[in-house]
Amino acid sequence: MEGLDGSGVEGLLSNLEGNIDNDPIFEISGEFPYALSESSPCIDTGKEDLSNMEIPSTDLLNHFRVWDGNGDQNAIIDMGAYEYGSSGMGIINNNFISGISLSPNPAKNYIGISHNTLFPSQTITITVYSMDGSIVKSVIKHPEYSNSSFLIEVSSLSSGAYIIHCQSGKAILGNKKFIKY
């Protein structure tokens, strides 16, 4: 069929805003082979201004649709059906991370993160996301052997729901939802 492979439509596909000529670098294997891989040029390269568009809040995996997948502190929608590195809305709850708890939740000024499954010397990066996937706070913590918990100041955040994302190196430790009042 003419046009399916780009023949007969010279310049039309490659000249449209937002299209790329690069390999999207999909995972290719696993349960979601068309998910973006870590080195995909499609991560955070979608349209930046979504204000006049009807974009669903989740991707096909029920993960947040707009997420900072490349870690540059700027959440931009990915090209494709799956948002790279995003958390699932349906699985974020207070039982999601085994051995990590938040208290108090809801929180006003500070929220405590306690852990008992992490090695005490691990450096942990805590990123707080708004529900639209924007980074609102990022903190690096170095837990001590004698202390398996630490506080994160949240008094400057507006009232609402947030997600705390905990990571050690490239290992994602999990996500927790909390309410700021």
Pick from 87-91, 94-98, 159-163: least confident:
94-98
**Taking residues 54-66, what's their average pLDDT?**
78
- Cα–Cα distance between 24 and 103 in angstroms, integer? 41
Of 90, 107, 126, the residue at which a domain comes to its end is: 90
Decide if pLDDT at 95 tops 50.
Answer: no
Closest by CA to 138, choosing from 122, 149, 125, is 125
Residues 107 and 171 in one domain: yes
- Cα–Cα distance between 40 and 60 in angstroms, integer? 18
Percent of the chain with pLDDT over 70: 71
| CATH value at residue 124 | 2.60.40.3080
Residues 104 and 171 in one domain: yes
Q: Is the entire prediction scored with pTM above 0.75?
A: no
pLDDT tens digits for range 118-130: 555 567 888 898 8
Decide if pLDDT at 16 tops 80.
Answer: no
DSSP E strand boundaries for 4-148: 66-67, 76-77, 100-103, 110-115, 124-130, 135-141
Domain range for 128: 92-180
Q: How many domains does the chain have?
A: 2
DSSP per-residue codes, 141-176? E--BTTB-EEEEE-TTSPSEEEEEEEEETTEEEEEE
Of 59, 74, 90, the residue at which a domain comes to its end is: 90
